[in-house]
Amino acid sequence: MVKNKQDGIFSAYIADLVKKANNDAIVYTYFLNEKEINEAAIILKSYPSLNYYFFGGHDNSERKILGINIQQNVNFPIKFIMIKTSEKNPKLLKHTDFLGSLMALGIKREVIGDIIINQDCTYVAVIDTMINFLLQNIEKIGSENVKVFECTNENFQKYEQQYEEFNIIIPSNRLDCYISKILNISREKSVELILSGKVFINYNEIKNTSKKLFENDILIIRQHGKYLFASEEGHTKKDRIKILIKKFK
């Protein structure tokens, strides 16, 4: 496995992988976030002769490993763990509880893939070389005692993203209008969020307050959630735009 980038430009990192792959080597990254996945896919379009695939454990994975010179999701260096909390007094734990406790073990973020929280247990995708370390060292998530087991990716394959759906009505297709309606704040507050670097469209930071959104665009507002522009639902009598929004749960 090729090590993940440390410093430098991300495109140079991918170019280095491509160079190794051109020598018929099979190469993998560690887990990439969604912005890196998009950037890598754009770069790899310049190398049509290479076979590559992104895989993170299930079809809707947010964090994925890039494999070059491979077919589909065969032999990706991913293992899966199941974390179970106390059955007698279960506590509702959040994504940040799991991620914080895992990072507290001294491991890097890029060795951890998606964290899928269910009512009775939580599944985590990890780099295969970390599986034994995690099985031996995870004892608590937050203040909760837990038990950890290795499992297959069957539970990941069954996972479907859950959304909270709602409609908004905006006067025009502008980013500040979307944020104002989604968060129920003033346009001025929306502009402040955008200019402060807290707003992303398709994982790219946006500081253009009049930026247009299109169907299937993903809007991220730091500390306020992640949203999908699902569809345009028509116009009101006053020609305002009706939009179906899906908030990621």
| Separation of alpha carbons 125 and 113, rounded Å | 5
The number of domains in the chain is: 3
Q: Percent of the chain scored above 70 by pLDDT?
A: 92
Do residues 103 and 125 share a domain? yes
Give the CATH number for residue 115: 3.30.70.330
User: Residue 104: CB partners within 8 Å, gap ≥ 6?
Assistant: none
| Residue 3 forms part of a structural domain | no
Of the three residues 126, 157, 188, the one that is the final residue of a domain is 157
Of the three residues 50, 68, 86, the one that is the final residue of a domain is 68
Instruction: State residue 87's pLDDT score.
Output: 61
Higher-confidence position of 204 and 158: 204
pLDDT at 71 over 80: no
User: Residue 10: CB partners within 8 Å, gap ≥ 6?
Assistant: 36, 39, 40
Do residues 238 and 169 share a domain? yes
How confident is residue 8, by pLDDT bands cut at 50, 70 and 90? low
Do residues 123 and 191 share a domain? no
pTM assigned to the model: 0.75
| Separation of alpha carbons 202 and 169, rounded Å | 22
Do residues 176 and 209 share a domain? yes
The range of the structural domain enclosing residue 232 comes to: 163-248
Name beta bridge partners: 65: 31, 55
Q: Sheet of 163-170: strands edge to edge? A: 163-170, 241-248, 225-235, 218-221, 199-201, 204-205
Single out the residue of 58, 102, 99 nearest to residue 76, CA to CA.
Answer: 58
| Separation of alpha carbons 197 and 156, rounded Å | 33
pLDDT of 83-139, one tens digit each? 998 665 556 788 889 999 999 999 999 999 999 887 778 999 999 999 999 999 999
pLDDT of 175-212, one tens digit each? 999 999 999 999 999 999 999 999 999 888 999 999 99
Single out the residue of 155, 157, 57, 161 nearest to residue 114, CA to CA.
Answer: 57
Which residue's structure tokens are 């837990």?
146
Do residues 210 and 170 share a domain? yes
